[in-house]
Structure 1
Amino acid sequence: MRTQIMTGAAGVVIALAVALAPPASAQSTAPGTVTEVVTAPERVRLAAAASAQRITYWSRGPRGPMQSTGMVYLPPGPPPPGGWPVVAYAHGSVGIADQCAFTLQPRDYYLAEVYPQLLRAGFAVVVSDYVGLGTPGTHPYLDGPSQARSVIDGVRAARAVAAELSTRWAVLGQSQGGQSALFAAHLAPTDAPELQLRGAAATGPPSNLELIAPLLGPWVPRLPLRMTTAYFAMIVAGLRATAPELDVDSYLTDAGRAVLDVVESNCVTEADEQVRNVAIGDMLNRPLLDPALIAAVHSMLRIPVEGYSVPLFIGQGVADLEVPAPLSAKLIAELELAGADLRVGVYPGDHLGAARQAFPDALAFLHRVLDQP
């Protein structure tokens, strides 16, 4: 196990605790248990942050304990009474190969704009890579419950290494992370009652995809959307790894298995360049109609529309070709009918453009839910 000694009394205590930890085989796999703390690599540090630590911690995958990595950024100056409120940032699709882990790569928009603005607003920032992304096992892409637990357990882990953090937190997510944010909002009040979840903001959250699964088969042509084949293949690859009893390979053609090989080895942008000309229908040799398979897809993808106890914000771009607006419109209508405390922003941009356009509104939402003790 690597251990890096950090400056300051708190850093020494953390480093010694990690160094003196029992062997991995004897360690607890309880949610949020930290197994490693290191200073963040230079390429992902922030001038606006008083400290930046990269952590490895235990969380929960679809079938049991799995590890995740993450980043913890603290604002400068003394924390307010009760500690820094936490914004857990849930990231969008980067791929499922280990080298795609979000916190390992310098991502200019987040490092130059999103995280600094959150820190200047007086929020600590905790970023989860999600289970299996840069850690053992296959990342279960768009498995909403496991992604949400990665986020929740990331906050638990961050509080274990940074005593300056409050129990008060909110989640902000884009795309895949928007789905994660909504699942976290639904799960966290009962899953982590020791934490005070105050709200969830989601931009471009993929929803209602489970309704499409029974329509898929060899007849599906190329679709006039972005990255559809790569996204579909990542979902299938995660399902194949986490639910072997479904025999996912039996649904795939040789071309389909080749596409899965590509997404398991490349980050999403590079994978899309290689597979975008392959139709989903070319990947399948029969319809996806098995009830057990459909049930597994529903448990992964179906965003709950009832039972929220915290405020929600959803932002959607009308020009989004990755998460089309009609799918989000259905989700928003169902949340409204179920009585959710919901604010909605509609923006002219595409998938990433709308996230940028929505950020001021999302930040105002975070202030509203987190500024009260």
Structure 2
Amino acid sequence: MNQLARLRYRRRFLAAALAVAGLTFVVTPAHADDQPLPGTVVTTSPLAEDLQLNGSERGLRLTYWTQDSTGREAQSSGAVFTPRGAAPPHGWPVVSWLHGTVGLGDECAPSTAGPTDRDRDFTYLNAWLNHGYAVVATDYIGLGTPGVHAFLDGAAEAHAAIDIVRAARTIDSSLSTSWLAVGQSQGGGGALWTATMATEYAPELDYRGVIATAPAAQVVSLLAAAGPSVPNLGMPNLTVYTAYAMRGLKQARPDWDLDSYLTPLGRRLVDDAETLCFRAMAERVEGIGVGELLTRSLSEGDFAESAHEVFDAPMAPYDRPVFIGQGAIDKTVPLPLTLAFIAQLRANGTFPALRVYPGSDHGGTVVAATIDAIQFAEAVTR
């Protein structure tokens, strides 16, 4: 057993012993250069009772070390849910769940506040538990941990989604090395980023595939169309997403000149975006169109170049199967955008399974895709 393997073994043994005792703990093994090892658990505690899933034997909240998109150490928080009953011989296969947009502030973290659409997300995650999958659910860096959440920063979300699998396995020996990335909306885009990084970033795990519903995979083409001349479409969610995206890009790339794009109102709203969760932010921007935030088009300057490398899912061939679910009446991630993304994937050698749900809007897609997603997972994990 090499030094790294012995370190992971000792970490897993100590974490499991303390978790059984019901204690919150701090464990911080490090690399030879004294940097925290990605996936190292920092704290763990029981999840709030109202955030427990019915299909889970238990739910725990944890914080753990991961990396941002530039490779700098960072902390994320999240939750771990284990199915009821005895684990199969090789352990419960794991779903790493990447959630949709909740906001940027610490109060928005799903492991403390719950998801924006609790009934929908709880129904979906319970379905996975009931089919014998453990669920680990990252909050992402900056949601419940230091710093501002870099909204749509795909590589940072991917690191957090992979490292929570590592972290969860140190505190629960019933979890398998076999796992899938599963995400919706913002998390759908993050899941696709995860798919392109999983095998190389965590070779000790057995990554099997990705399920992305209503994925925010190629959003720069939509955002770049925004400018001061765009009329108010009466869709406050678009204003919310724009404010979040601009603040997220500034967090991911601090040298990007955010203020040069913003009106005084835009600056106030982007400041508000740091703390206001989705519903509160939607109320804050009621009656305010995207154009009122901007002094110039996002197609000008370096916005598109900077945002593309942070937001848009890579086109490189994916080394494991891909499932994409899309609602036909989705106004947030329109069907033509997803079809264009899939066409690009195919041109680059990746051929995803696609299911389009005729009556589903953005939020409804994840529920509509449940049966297809689980059948896909069964085919690649069992």
TM-score > 0.5 by shorter chain: yes
> Is the deviation greater in 268-277 or in 101-110?
101-110
Q: d(CA) in 2 for partners of 1:296 and 1:121?
A: 41
The correspondence for 1:109, drawn from 102, 105, 119, is 119
The residue aligned with 2:5 is: none
| Per-residue Cα deviation, 1:31-60 (whole angstroms, up to 9, x for no partner) | 111100111111111342122111100111
The residue aligned with 2:3 is: none
Q: d(CA) in 1 for partners of 2:101 and 2:301?
A: 28
Would you say the 8 A contact 1:90–1:178 is kept in 2? yes
The correspondence for 1:331, drawn from 324, 336, 341, is 341
Q: d(CA) in 2 for partners of 1:219 and 1:114?
A: 40
The residue aligned with 2:321 is: 311
SS in 1 for 2:209: strand
Q: d(CA) in 2 for partners of 1:114 and 1:62?
A: 28
SS in 1 for 2:363: helix
Would you say the 8 A contact 2:28–2:36 is kept in 1? no
Q: d(CA) in 2 for partners of 1:20 and 1:169?
A: 24
What is the aligned-residue identity percentage?
Answer: 38
Say whether residues 1:99 and 2:110 are aligned partners.
Answer: no
The residue aligned with 1:266 is: 276
The residue aligned with 2:365 is: 354
The correspondence for 1:59, drawn from 66, 69, 78, is 66
- Pairwise CA distance, 1:20: 6.9
Say whether residues 1:363 and 2:371 are aligned partners.
Answer: no
Q: d(CA) in 2 for partners of 1:329 and 1:22?
A: 44
Q: d(CA) in 2 for partners of 1:274 and 1:166?
A: 44
The residue aligned with 2:241 is: 231
The correspondence for 1:250, drawn from 256, 260, 275, is 260
The correspondence for 2:168, drawn from 158, 164, 185, is 158
Q: d(CA) in 1 for partners of 2:84 and 2:113?
A: 23
Say whether residues 1:87 and 2:98 are aligned partners.
Answer: no
Say whether residues 1:340 and 2:347 are aligned partners.
Answer: no
SS in 2 for 1:227: helix
- Pairwise CA distance, 1:9: 5.1
**Paired residue type of 2:207:** L
Q: TM-score scaled by structure 2?
A: 0.88
The correspondence for 2:250, drawn from 235, 240, 259, is 240
Say whether residues 1:182 and 2:192 are aligned partners.
Answer: yes
Cα pair distance change 1:284/1:111, threshold 3 Å: closer
- Pairwise CA distance, 1:207: 2.9
The residue aligned with 2:45 is: 38
Q: d(CA) in 2 for partners of 1:280 and 1:263?
A: 14
- Pairwise CA distance, 1:228: 0.7
Would you say the 8 A contact 2:105–2:144 is kept in 1? yes
The residue aligned with 2:11 is: none
| Per-residue Cα deviation, 1:113-139 (whole angstroms, up to 9, x for no partner) | 222221121111100000001111010
Q: d(CA) in 2 for partners of 1:110 and 1:27?
A: 42
- Pairwise CA distance, 1:199: 0.6
SS in 2 for 1:352: coil
Would you say the 8 A contact 1:14–1:161 is kept in 2? no
Would you say the 8 A contact 1:140–1:239 is kept in 2? yes
SS in 2 for 1:70: strand
Q: d(CA) in 1 for partners of 2:37 and 2:48?
A: 27
SS in 2 for 1:151: helix
Q: d(CA) in 1 for partners of 2:370 and 2:212?
A: 10
Cα pair distance change 1:40/1:243, threshold 3 Å: same
Consecutive unaligned residues in structure 1, runs of 5 or more? 1-7
Q: d(CA) in 2 for partners of 1:42 and 1:27?
A: 37
Would you say the 8 A contact 2:142–2:148 is kept in 1? yes
| Per-residue Cα deviation, 1:249-306 (whole angstroms, up to 9, x for no partner) | 1221101012112322211122112214222221111233565433220111221223
**Paired residue type of 2:69:** P
SS in 2 for 1:30: coil
- Pairwise CA distance, 1:364: 0.9
After TM superposition, the runs of 4+ consecutive aligned structure 1 residues lying more than 6 A away are: none
**Paired residue type of 1:357:** A
Q: d(CA) in 2 for partners of 1:296 and 1:200?
A: 26
Q: Within 5 Å, which residues of 2 pair with 1:183-198?
A: 183-198=193-208
The residue aligned with 2:7 is: none
The correspondence for 1:147, drawn from 139, 142, 157, is 157
SS in 2 for 1:114: helix
Cα pair distance change 1:106/1:132, threshold 3 Å: closer
Would you say the 8 A contact 1:44–1:111 is kept in 2? no
